[in-house]
Structure 1
Amino acid sequence: MNPVKVCALRSGSSGNAIFVGSGSTRILIDAGVSLRDIEHALSEIGEDASQLTGVLVTHEHTDHARSVGALMRRHKVPLYVNGGTLQALRSTLGKVPEDLIRPFVSGESFSIGDLSVAGYRTSHDAAESVAFKVDTAHGSVAVCTDFGWPDPQLLNQLSGSRVILVESNYDPVMLAAGSYPPPLKQRIAGDFGHLSNGDSAKAILHFLARGTERFILSHLSKENNYPELALQTVRDHLQAE
């Protein structure tokens, strides 16, 4: 088995769930699809939801937090969440055991089993959205989606990670020509929305210069992007440097 196991179980505007495992610790970052889907996806990579050490939530939007309460109730998985997101989640979380809620402070490190984790604030239209940096004995993994622009402070906080899942949500031309109403287009492209393919490439260039070995383009929109375009845009930016 590899020392660190990272898998984007689901990623995109329709739902997100990222698995990270190292040593005896297994965590899920976000649970934005059905519980059944999460259980099935975990089984496909040889994991079991009942063995999760914790579920971490980047923010309260449904595509990231849909099944958090169900996961806690069925599998007794502790929830690691900051104060702002917890307050925003309360109305949709349902009845869960309070002793399974483990609050953390954004910007401060906390431990989950063999892992040291920190949640860093992102520019997104949510209560207290964060990107996570997970430190393992074999290097760091960062999960950074749902942020409107490549904020230098955030990029520096995540620098040095061996693997980074970075948002590459939309192509500006596809977004402009698409069927979304103007207010939604403005939200997506705004400073508190999502990262375009080009801005994702800028973030990747920053991380590359600081030692990151692998990138996973994440949170691609089905309506305003497609994998080949996102990948080619990043390649074009890298080759231009």
Structure 2
Amino acid sequence: MKFSVLASGSTGNAVYVESGDQAFIVDAGLTGKKMEQLFAKIDRDIKKLSGILVTHEHSDHIKGVGVLARKYNVPVFANEKTWQAMTPSVGNIPLDQRFQFNMETVQAFGTLEIESFGVSHDAADPMFYTFHENGRKLAVITDTGYVSDRMKGIIRGADAFVFESNHDVNMLQMGSYPWSTKRRILSDVGHVSNEDAAIAMSDVVFEKDTHIYLSHLSKDNNMKDLARLSVAQTLQSVGIMPGEFVHLHDTDAEEPTKLVMV
């Protein structure tokens, strides 16, 4: 199993995962043209996609879904409420490309098993995914206001995490956003801060080689260096020293991460 965070941030999100002849993206929150460019940068053929796994209907996660589905005949997977919520935005997708992926279920694609789980975000029925193959596990969770014990139980022990580290609380509070937006981000259906990301990670990492990709950073209320430092310091405070067995990685809104094996 290999993966790349194609893009991550408030302007668009997509994560590529492949195993054998199976290849999926979690969300397609950029234009079709930009998605094609990102695939070229990791030397992969977008025409060979097995499916698009949609997490929720916000535009930074579905902007390119309709275009890619129609242009490349790609199947699209989402739960019923998300299908209903996103249909006006993604346009017509043929019935034979529309697939249901219910909450809290597992679907197998060859040797790759994909598990869905609910999160706490202000969308119709938001959910994210873990990927399992040959005892290896990748967890993707980038939009949630908090990380519950149930979520932690599902993602615990992953070999790699694509995990939200959306904002620095002080930057957000001192920034120019209206109070209603700040309150939404800080709420239980908003986004996870740097510190909360680290606290959640400290509860789910095992003492083995683990890679954490800090994702969905706000362009206005966070910085890569700040996110990495904040997460590292919080992990250190509970006895987890980044660089020993936990490795922190940046993601970017424009450039994909290197395609790596889980």
State TM-score, norm by structure 2.
0.88
Q: Which of 94, 98, 101 lines up with 2:95 in the alignment?
A: 98
Q: Which of 210, 213, 218 lines up with 2:210 in the alignment?
A: 213
Contact 2:157/2:206 (<8 A) preserved: no
User: Partner residue of 1:200?
Assistant: 197
Residue 174, structure 1, aligned to residue 154, structure 2: no
The CA deviation string for residues 165-211 of structure 1, in whole angstroms up to 9 with x for no partner, is: 00000000000011100000000010000000000001111121475
Q: Which amino acid aligns with 2:6?
A: L
The CA deviation string for residues 95-126 of structure 1, in whole angstroms up to 9 with x for no partner, is: 11111111021001112343211110000000
Residue 117, structure 1, aligned to residue 110, structure 2: no
**1:212: Cα distance to partner?**
6.7
SS of residue paired to 1:146: coil
After superposition, the Cα gap between the structure-2 partners of 1:30 and 1:210, relative to the gap in structure 1 and judged at 3 Å, is farther
**1:138: Cα distance to partner?**
5.3
Alpha-carbon distance in structure 2 between the residues aligned to 1:98 and 1:201 = 41
User: Partner residue of 2:21?
Assistant: 24
**1:6: Cα distance to partner?**
1.1
After superposition, the Cα gap between the structure-2 partners of 1:72 and 1:39, relative to the gap in structure 1 and judged at 3 Å, is same
SS of residue paired to 2:214: strand
Residue 9, structure 1, aligned to residue 6, structure 2: yes
> Which runs of at least 4 in structure 1 moved beyond 6 Å after TM superposition?
none
Q: Which of 32, 42, 47 lines up with 1:35 in the alignment?
A: 32
SS of residue paired to 1:42: helix
Alpha-carbon distance in structure 2 between the residues aligned to 1:77 and 1:83 = 18
Residue 74, structure 1, aligned to residue 64, structure 2: no
Contact 2:158/2:205 (<8 A) preserved: no
SS of residue paired to 1:131: strand
Alpha-carbon distance in structure 1 between the residues aligned to 2:192 and 2:209 = 19
Residue 191, structure 1, aligned to residue 188, structure 2: yes
Alpha-carbon distance in structure 1 between the residues aligned to 2:27 and 2:135 = 23
RMSD of aligned residue pairs (Cα, Å): 1.2
User: Partner residue of 2:149?
Assistant: 152
State TM-score, norm by structure 1.
0.96
Alpha-carbon distance in structure 1 between the residues aligned to 2:112 and 2:130 = 10
User: Partner residue of 1:137?
Assistant: 134
Alpha-carbon distance in structure 1 between the residues aligned to 2:209 and 2:18 = 19
Alpha-carbon distance in structure 2 between the residues aligned to 1:110 and 1:49 = 22
Alpha-carbon distance in structure 1 between the residues aligned to 2:234 and 2:25 = 31
Residue 48, structure 1, aligned to residue 45, structure 2: yes
Contact 1:164/1:212 (<8 A) preserved: no
Give aligned pairs, total: 238
Contact 1:24/1:114 (<8 A) preserved: no
Alpha-carbon distance in structure 2 between the residues aligned to 1:21 and 1:118 = 15
Identity %: 37
